[in-house]
Chains A and B, each alone.
Chain A
């Protein structure tokens, strides 16, 4: 019998349910011959998960691209602002396309890592206190907790990205260190920022983070055919389970807003267009130039995201 150690962090939540499901399915399909021990923070610090895979400390891990852009330059394309992703299915589609690109696989292989699946996250909308920040003018000078490409986007419209860790986000908001916090819904719930909020932007959809699940290449290659088949065939099922589970959470979301008396703010199409113009194009341009300058296929990947997304939308996903 084979046991894999899997390194994730935090507590068990919607964001880790596909991994739990994968472990369950694999054990089932192999009759307990191949099991996974999912550890929440016991094996590594979250920002070191890719290092752990690289040295063979554990066989599977989850991490987010934005934690350490220099470790995983190419997949940060999925964290560029205003890509236009509307839902989790589209997020899965673009992630899968990017993960399948040879240059991306090659960059991950430098960490001895093989991309297995994504952990699709909804768009990082803002919660805030006081008067809703529903125009670009009102966002000027706003202290916002947003990292990576999102932070840059808010900076372009005059907001001030302020770094606090996700676990300190609630306190930062309560203490006025930040005015607003950008998170996915599950994080607004689990980090408590929704409890402090007066409003939530329903349609700002500025972008999200990308958090792949990877496996150690040597460990993957050492699997028997039956084990590998069990693992590979379980990925789509695990993702389907994740989407269904997250869907339930999103359904609950409106009820949570009503219960906490949080206003749902719709930003006008004009303002959104202005925001995209100021932030999306220049930041994408910078990203593409910087990748091309390092000899990486930046333009190609960016185009891949756009065409995949258009396809997905055309198919009514």
Chain B
């Protein structure tokens, strides 16, 4: 049998295992392992005497992957980013941020909602995970908005949408995962997330102001903060600024040489937040909790990573990605249309799947195809389809798929952020939150369209570094 046919069967079987509820990490590893055995036994002409040999070799190939693939310096960013988020929570940074944002921005129409968006964007700078951000702000921001007469569904929608900013604005675990899978520079990808993340926040804020101006009763402004109060709210939020500055300067220093590698930047950022949490009274019991929670989330992510990489190892032997890339480039369709179709396919898949699992399962096949569509890894901007070099195309596509994955966190039926917000606020049903978040679909659609139409929004910062 043709290796590519084996690749297709195994990939189909993997999706069946995922659908019947097998844990994604193990379904992928199982598919990869069985695929390796099948491929090799196929190579031995299905000789029964050589089955044992095919099995042993495959066991050994698969058994290398967990140690071999997790032992990487750049992957160490993931646990560090997760730890920062948990420590920031114990350092009380969320409240400080919301308070500062409120005093500075609440005076505009829809002011508290705008403040919430900017505070979630700020918290995104210390949090690598969207769902955690939504959960935290659901508790702080929704009651305040309700107290001044906001529509509660709308308030919930603002928090659910604001939470999605955490994965674009660095630190972002999902961007690191993307960089690892596609073997691109982690620093450049993190840098690339900044402007689209801030851009999304500004589009959310504009949407809120627009809604508040048209429907006066949705979100009344809150005024009366003095300049003195405004400045007094800044110092407690300062560690966030410190972390942002550190991570940026470790990746790219506009004034001179960068301070170090992204790996060091992430860890030094965590160290600063740790000191802050100590100062705020964190003790061993809380630290132990934070460490165990960090370990759980880290292990969950890494299990998918090595599981999927066993499948990827099998793909390497079957050369399925090469075949898929050949097929995509042979289609008689405009490359831009193909790209849009790929993004739409992610939107559909994302309705049913977790973002990390979705990216890990699909990228090994889809990414080489997108690169081939642009003209290959080493293509120059002038000769490429999308008008950007291979490296830049990798970054641009990465930001696009991560934004798609984040979009799926607020879309029904499985918009995880909406479930979390409803879970925190017993007075809100999941349907209420989905109704409240609906206007933000529009905002996200506009953002994605602009990122596709104007790649410079994504590529400006990384092209400097």
Task: Tell me, yes or no, whether A and B come into direct contact in the complex with CB atoms closer than 8 A.
Answer: yes
> Which residues of chain A have a CB within 8 Å of any CB of chain B?
5, 11, 39, 41-45, 47-48, 51-52, 55-57, 164-165, 167-168, 171-172, 174-177
Task: Give the distance to chain A from B269, nearest Cβ to Cβ, in Å.
Answer: 16
Contact status B57-A56, CB under 8 Å: yes
Give the size of the chain B interface in residues (CB under 8 angstroms): 24
Task: Give the distance to chain A from B355, nearest Cβ to Cβ, in Å.
Answer: 26
Contact status B57-A55, CB under 8 Å: yes
Cα distance A167–B73 in the bound complex, in angstroms: 12
Cα distance A210–B377 in the bound complex, in angstroms: 28
Asked whether A48 and B258 contact (CB < 8 A) given A43-B316, A43-B317, A55-B57, the answer is: no
Q: Which residues of B contact A56 (CB under 8 A)?
A: 57
Q: Which residues of A contact B377 (CB under 8 A)?
A: 11
Task: Tell me if B423 counts as interface (CB < 8 A to partner A).
Answer: no
Cα distance A52–B316 in the bound complex, in angstroms: 14
Q: Which residues of A contact B250 (CB under 8 A)?
A: 175
Task: Tell me if B187 counts as interface (CB < 8 A to partner A).
Answer: yes
Q: Identify 13 new A-B residue pairs, CB closer than 8 A, beyond the known A48-B64, A175-B259, A176-B257.
A: A5-B317, A11-B378, A41-B183, A45-B68, A48-B68, A51-B64, A52-B61, A57-B57, A167-B185, A171-B187, A175-B253, A175-B258, A177-B261
Contact status B260-A177, CB under 8 Å: yes
Q: Which residues of A contact B319 (CB under 8 A)?
A: 42
Task: Tell me if B228 counts as interface (CB < 8 A to partner A).
Answer: no
Which residue of B68, B185, B257, B317 contacts A175 across the interface (Cβ within 8 Å)? B257
Task: Give the distance to chain A from B322, nearest Cβ to Cβ, in Å.
Answer: 9
Which residue of B185, B258, B316 contacts A39 across the interface (Cβ within 8 Å)? B316
Cα distance A39–B312 in the bound complex, in angstroms: 13
Closest A residue to B187 using CB positions: A171
Contact status B68-A171, CB under 8 Å: no
Task: Give the distance to chain B from A23, nearest Cβ to Cβ, in Å.
Answer: 16
Task: Tell me if B139 counts as interface (CB < 8 A to partner A).
Answer: no
Task: Give the distance to chain A from B260, nearest Cβ to Cβ, in Å.
Answer: 6
Which residues 298-318 in B have Cβ within 8 Å of A in the complex?
A: 313, 315-317
Q: Which residues of A contact B257 (CB under 8 A)?
A: 174-176
Q: Which residues of B contact A174 (CB under 8 A)?
A: 257-258
Contact status B258-A55, CB under 8 Å: no
Q: Which residues of A contact B187 (CB under 8 A)?
A: 171
> Which residues of chain B have a CB within 8 Å of any CB of chain A?
57, 60-61, 64, 68-69, 73, 183, 185, 187, 250, 253, 257-261, 313, 315-317, 319, 377-378
Cα distance A113–B371 in the bound complex, in angstroms: 36
Asked whether A55 and B260 contact (CB < 8 A) given A5-B317, A39-B316, A45-B68, the answer is: no
Task: Give the distance to chain B from A242, nearest Cβ to Cβ, in Å.
Answer: 21
Cα distance A274–B315 in the bound complex, in angstroms: 53
Contact status B258-A168, CB under 8 Å: no
28 interchain pairs (CB within 8 A)? A5-B317, A11-B377, A42-B316, A42-B317, A42-B319, A43-B313, A43-B317, A44-B64, A45-B69, A47-B68, A48-B64, A48-B68, A51-B64, A56-B57, A57-B57, A164-B261, A165-B73, A167-B185, A168-B261, A171-B185, A171-B187, A171-B258, A171-B261, A174-B258, A175-B250, A175-B258, A175-B260, A175-B261
Contact status A57-B261, CB under 8 Å: no
Cα distance A177–B262 in the bound complex, in angstroms: 12
Q: Which residues of A contact B259 (CB under 8 A)?
A: 175
Which of A42, A43, A44 has the largest count of B CB atoms less than 10 A from its CB? A42
Q: Which residues of A contact B261 (CB under 8 A)?
A: 164, 168, 171-172, 175, 177
Cα distance A117–B441 in the bound complex, in angstroms: 59
Cα distance A55–B313 in the bound complex, in angstroms: 15
Task: Give the distance to chain B from A308, nearest Cβ to Cβ, in Å.
Answer: 35
Cα distance A5–B315 in the bound complex, in angstroms: 14
Contact status A55-B316, CB under 8 Å: no
In the A-B complex, list the 9 residue pairs whose CB atoms are closest, starting with the nearest: A42-B316, A175-B258, A55-B60, A176-B257, A57-B61, A45-B68, A56-B57, A48-B68, A43-B316
Q: Which residues of B contact A171 (CB under 8 A)?
A: 185, 187, 258, 261
Q: Which residues of B contact A57 (CB under 8 A)?
A: 57, 60-61
Cα distance A6–B359 in the bound complex, in angstroms: 29
Cα distance A42–B322 in the bound complex, in angstroms: 11
